[in-house]
Amino acid sequence: MTQERALLRSIVQCYTPTGEEQPVAAHLVDHFHRAGLEASIDGAGNFVGCAGPGPVEVVLLGHIDTVPGEIRVREENGKLYGRGAVDAKGPMATFASATLRLAATGALANTRLIVIGAVAEEGGSQGARHIVDRYRPRHLIIGEPGGWDSIVLGYKGSLRIEYRLERSTRHSAGPDESAPEVAVAFWHRLSAWCDDVNAGKRVFDQISPALRMINTHGNGFSDTVAMDIHVRLPLEYGPEILREKLEAWAGEADIAVVFGDPAVKGGKNTPLVRAFLGALRDQGAQPRFKVKTGTSDMNVVAPAWCCPMLAYGPGDSALDHTPEEHIELDEYDRAIGVLETALRNLDKAVAG
């Protein structure tokens, strides 16, 4: 087993659902220290490792937490199974391995790589929110699965709200609506409005609501209903626009925003994208551009950093969060080579 495959397996073997990421952060710090590189754990619990003399900062931002649900770690037919193998320890190990290769060969002359393994991406992105005011990189690479031969340019935005309504208890034979009926009517109004807005649009350009939870409670005098609603947003609808609509529709209910991040999409004609295109073609790939209907930490940091950006990482994102989560080890190896070459290309490009 190569050292790079051993790194991947070792961090996948650490079961790190959101809130329990420290074993992987500490392991990555030790891995960088053994290579003679600067590394630490920041105030949020993020892993931060650095390589290269600068002055052009390039942030490689992955995440080290996973969704819950432990999967037995095993290798079968060239595939590594385990929670986080795809989302997103595969991309994180790719970042670390390519960085260590470049540092070992002294290939970096003009860039400083800042490799971050963020906590809580599967929660509220607290790790990314912690770093957003601490760095101002010239280039941003997000570590998420898209396939070794693909470049992901953008992600839909998101708005998560908590709806709460309390009303005096109504008799079931009376004319007034109960609290649950009012809440369900609110949800149906949102869904119907989204259907109208989405007509004829591709998925990336649609508003996609999801009712994650609904609970009701009564004490004989009043009834309370609570809903957790998560809405995926296209580029043309920012969180504030939708929040204002929901508050207007809420009536006597309370609307609390848990978080809201806009959709983001990077450009194709940047030194960063060109560096990756060259690297992919060197590996014999026909590069593909993608956009994702989910979200990532790109949504948190990109609006503040306003720099060239993309997401890259091995793995099939259709396996995210599933009981069958696994990564093709050959694809992981290829992705390390692509990223190493892309970062070499970028280091040369920024010299001018």
- Annotated catalytic residue, options 87, 121, 325, 340: 121
Task: Evaluate whether 212 touches 195 at the Cβ level (below 8 Å).
Answer: no
Nearest to 18 by CA among 125, 120, 108: 120
| Residue 302 to residues 139, 152, 184, 308, Cα–Cα distance (Å) | 10, 14, 35, 9
Task: Evaluate whether 6 touches 29 at the Cβ level (below 8 Å).
Answer: no
- Spell out the long-range contacts of 70-77 with Cβ–Cβ below 8 A and sequence spacing 24 or more: 70/15, 71/323, 71/325, 73/9, 73/12, 73/13, 75/9, 75/329
187: left (phi over 0), alpha (psi -120 to 50) or beta: alpha
> Read out DSSP for 208-266?
EEEEEEEEEEE-SSEEEEEEEEEEEE-TT--HHHHHHHHHHHHTTSEEEEEEEE--EE-
* Strand duo 309-312 + 139-143: pairing: parallel
C-alpha 123/C-alpha 132 separation (Å) is 16
Which H helix or E strand runs over 51?
strand 47-51
- Annotated catalytic residue, options 21, 57, 65, 261: 65
Judge whether 65 counts as a catalytic residue. Answer: yes
Backbone angles phi, psi at 183, to 5 degrees: -65, -45
Which H helix or E strand runs over 194?
helix 179-198
Kindly state the greatest CA–CA separation across the chain: 79
Judge whether 121 counts as a catalytic residue. Answer: yes
Active site residues: 65, 121
